[in-house]
Structure formats: structure tokens, C-alpha cells
Amino acid sequence: MHGSDVAATVTLAVATADDLPWFKDELRAAFAVAAIEAFGSAEGAIPGDDDVENSFAAPGAVALLVLADGRRVGGAILTIDAASGCNALDFFFICVAEHGRGLGLAAWKAIERRYSETKVWETHTPYFEKRNIHFYLNKCGFRIVEYYHEGHRSPDGPDLVDLPGDGGMFRFEKVMDPAALAAPPRTRPYFTRVILTRISPGYKRRTPRRSRRRTVTDSPLPPATAFRGHRRLAAGPLAAVALAVRDALAAGGDEPVLVFDDASGKVIDFDLRGDDTAILARLTPQPTAGRPDEASGADDGGEARGRGRPRLGVVSREVSLLPRHWDWLGGQPGGASSALRRLVDEAARRPDPRRARKAAQERAYRFLQAIAGDFPHYEEATRALFADDRAGFSARIADWPADVRDHALRLAFGADEAVSN
């Protein structure tokens, strides 16, 4: 990511699940070059598939493709915190064949324009990544705000114990809105889900601890699938799908676009006005205001928690039981609430196959009802679905558009039932 000879028009597009194999391959190749330059080997230096896949699907994550004249030349994964405006650059690469053309800087400027309401950008890079340090400091305008090492570890960041030398890691910030600095540094959100760039051989990547002060909810948005007409447009986390739909609608076209919640099969409606930050802010579930007993950590009887006792994040609700139920609960260790929590947890660990089967049938039916109600053999297909007749269901939808057919099979019977094109 050096040089300044940019002859192409650099733009960004939201990456979807279909882009993931290419994304992983090109990221590994780009990371391997720097590792070999620094250490003579790429062994153990390249982020694993799990790192990239988990980053794609993480709450608040947006995966982007870097395009030069419409051709894929790189990628980035960001964490967008619409509530605070404090965003993070998690992965960023330019394909090996495209190095030296200034595409990295052009791509970063495009990211800044796309997320123009960002107050603070943050990223991390290991101490030995001289080229990256130069890029972020001297090209992109970041500044080093902290240096993590054995004697000064990040309370919320990645474990550095396996990095060579003193295990040093720089934390960079770029302040876009000076007003963001009014918040004390340790109350601003910190994003350290993954390390930005190449890792040295022998470094065993561990899943970083999530920031305890992060303002974005840790509850993941539901996976979703978008269709334009009868062709699949995008699939993956709802945030990525929403941005892909926005881009597709902006490009024009007459076919209607429907977005489905993969967990329920229901059609999802969302507001696509504004930039990415505004769209993601409306998608992100807002935490409900805590009640006094929740904020104080009080349990059932209003008794404050003792010193050192963990807060469980419990929420009070009314439960109606018969006297004999209350008598039994009152005799259980830990009291009624503790006993109820154990009973619920035990039941959740023993899923009911019949309920799971019914839920799969209902989500597939909702999808079919919305998109395939006028298809041939629709009625016969739905009867086969609720009769749990896999062969009959597959036979009756065999001539339907491939993307609709395959998605219906996935919802009804699992991913392994999808028919290959």
C-alpha cells in the first residue's frame, strides 16, 4: 500500500457471503507477502478462516470490497458503532498484484467518505509492521495513542503473549470530530475483535475479549437473505444485506426486492434513507432502559448483591404459579428465581425435535407464501412440506427458479438439502 500512481477509479461495494471465498484467498496472499519479507516464512502468520468468517458475521461488522474500475482489488472489514460514532478498521488488504499503485490510500479515503459521520477511527497493528505504521501515520493521518506490551497490556484488547520480542502492539486513532475527545479515553468504545494486519510466525491468534465498554449491543442481528425478483441478491448478517439492497436499488431495475429473516422466514422491512451509519443505527437493537433493581444488581427480594457477587443481568417479570409450585421453588437451593433459571437452561439444552421441525416448516412456508405463491405446484409443495415429505417437496419445486428452490430447501430441511445448480 504505497506509491501514488492511481489510474483507476476506486469505489467500495458491500461484500456478501458469495464474496467470502475470494476475500479469504486474497487476504491470505497479501498477508503472506509481508510475513515472508519480515520473517522469511509465512507459516503461522496468516489469519485463519475462522478469524475472517467470524469478522464477517460479527455484530456491527461491515465487509467491503475495494473496486478499481469495477474490478475487485482488495477488501476491508469494519466495525461500525452508529450510536457513538467510534468505528474500527479490523481487516484491510490490497491484492498482491495491485500493490504499489496507491490503491490502499484511495480505498481508505473512500471509506472515510462512506462513513463521513465517524467521530473517531481506531485500528491496531504489531510493532514490527513498519510499512503499515508508515501507511497509517504518514499517509492516512492516524496517530499512535497507546503501545501495548508485556508491561502494559490492553484490558480489552487481544492477547499479545505470543508475539515476538516484547509482544508490542500499537493502537492508532484518527479523530474526525474533535468533540469526541471530550469523553474520557477509557469510556470511548474500543474495538479489538481482530488484529488489523499480518501476524508473525508462531503467533497463535486467540479470540480477543470484547470491550466491556462497547456501546453496540452484543446481540447479533439476524441472518437474512435478499431476493431481487427470483434471484438471490445477498445473504449474510442483516447489516451487510441491508447495505447491499441499498446499493442494488440505487443501481436501478424493475424487479421487486424482498428481504427475508432466515430464522423465521418473514419479510423484513427497513428504512434505507441516509448513509451507512444512519441505516445501521436503525437496524441495531437499542438496549432497554434498566430498572432500578437491574441497575443496582438487586435480586428477587430487593436485597443488594454482596461484595464481589457477580451481576447476572437479570430482568424482573411477573410469573403466575400455583401454590404448590411456589412451595417447591422456595425449597430449592438459591431460591425461586435461581431454580427457575436452572430449569429454563436445562430445557434449552434439550431441544424438542418436534418443535424444531415445526419451526422449519413454518419459516419455509412463510418464504414460499411471499415469493412463490403463483408458482406451479405451489399447493402440492406446501402439502408435502407439512407432511415432512422431503422427496415429494423436492420433486414439486424442482422446476422453480434455482435460487428460490435452493433457499426453500435450506429453510425447510437444512443447508445440505440444497440442490446444486
DSSP string computed for 242-305: HHHHHHHHHT--SS-EEEEETTT--B------S-HHHHHHHHSPPPPPPPHHHHHT--TTSPPP
Taking the C-alpha atoms of residue 339 and residue 327, their distance in angstroms, rounded to an integer, is: 12
pLDDT for residue 303: 45
Question: Which 8-state DSSP code applies to residue 158?
Answer: -
* 130 neighbors 201 (Cβ within 8 angstroms): no
Residue with cell 486474497: 26
Taking the C-alpha atoms of residue 125 and residue 12, their distance in angstroms, rounded to an integer, is: 23
pLDDT tens, position by position, 65-115: 999 999 999 999 999 888 888 899 988 999 888 888 889 999 999 999 999
pLDDT tens, position by position, 178-233: 765 555 443 443 333 233 333 333 333 333 333 333 333 333 445 889 999 999 99
How does DSSP assign 63-127, residue by residue? EEEEEETTEEEEEEEEE--TTT-EEEEEEEEE-GGGTTSSHHHHHHHHHHHHTTT-SEEEEEEET
pLDDT category of residue 283 using cuts at 50, 70 and 90: confident
pLDDT for residue 28: 81
- Of 2 and 60, the one with more pLDDT: 60
Do the strands 231-237 and 10-14 form a parallel or antiparallel pair, or are they unpaired? unpaired
**Environment class of 302 (CB within 10 Å of its CB; exposed 0-12, middle 13-18, buried 19+):** exposed
Residue 308: pLDDT over 60: no
Q: What is the mean pLDDT of the chain?
A: 76
Taking the C-alpha atoms of residue 302 and residue 32, their distance in angstroms, rounded to an integer, is: 57
Q: What angle do CA 205, 208, 212 make, to 5 degrees?
A: 175
Taking the C-alpha atoms of residue 146 and residue 338, their distance in angstroms, rounded to an integer, is: 43
pLDDT tens, position by position, 20-55: 889 988 888 887 766 666 666 655 546 677 778 878
| The length of the chain, given as a count of residues | 421
pLDDT for residue 320: 85
For range 328-345, the mean pLDDT: 83
Taking the C-alpha atoms of residue 62 and residue 58, their distance in angstroms, rounded to an integer, is: 9
pLDDT for residue 76: 94
Taking the C-alpha atoms of residue 165 and residue 269, their distance in angstroms, rounded to an integer, is: 51
Residue 157's nearest CA partner among 122, 129, 183, 132 is: 122
Residue 237's nearest CA partner among 223, 227, 216 is: 223
Residue 163: pLDDT over 60: no
pLDDT tens, position by position, 342-393: 888 887 777 778 888 888 999 999 999 999 988 999 999 999 999 999 999 9
Residue with cell 407464501: 369
Phi, psi of 45 (to 5 degrees): -100, -10
Bridge partners, residue 12, by sequence: 66
- Of 60 and 381, the one with more pLDDT: 381
Q: Which three cell numbers stand for residue 98?
A: 495491485
CATH fold, domain 10-187, is Aminopeptidase (3.40.630)
Number of Cβ within a 10 Å radius of residue 329: 17
pLDDT for residue 235: 87
The residue extents of the domains of the chain are: 10-187, 222-285, 322-351, 352-421
Phi-psi region of 253 (alpha: psi -120 to 50; beta: other; left: phi over 0): left
Taking the C-alpha atoms of residue 66 and residue 13, their distance in angstroms, rounded to an integer, is: 7
pLDDT tens, position by position, 224-262: 899 999 999 988 888 888 888 998 888 888 888 999 999
pLDDT for residue 110: 94
Of all residues in the chain, the percent with pLDDT exceeding 90 is 29
- Of 156 and 111, the one with more pLDDT: 111
- Please state the pTM of the whole predicted model: 0.52
Collapsing DSSP to helix, strand or coil, 205 comes out as coil
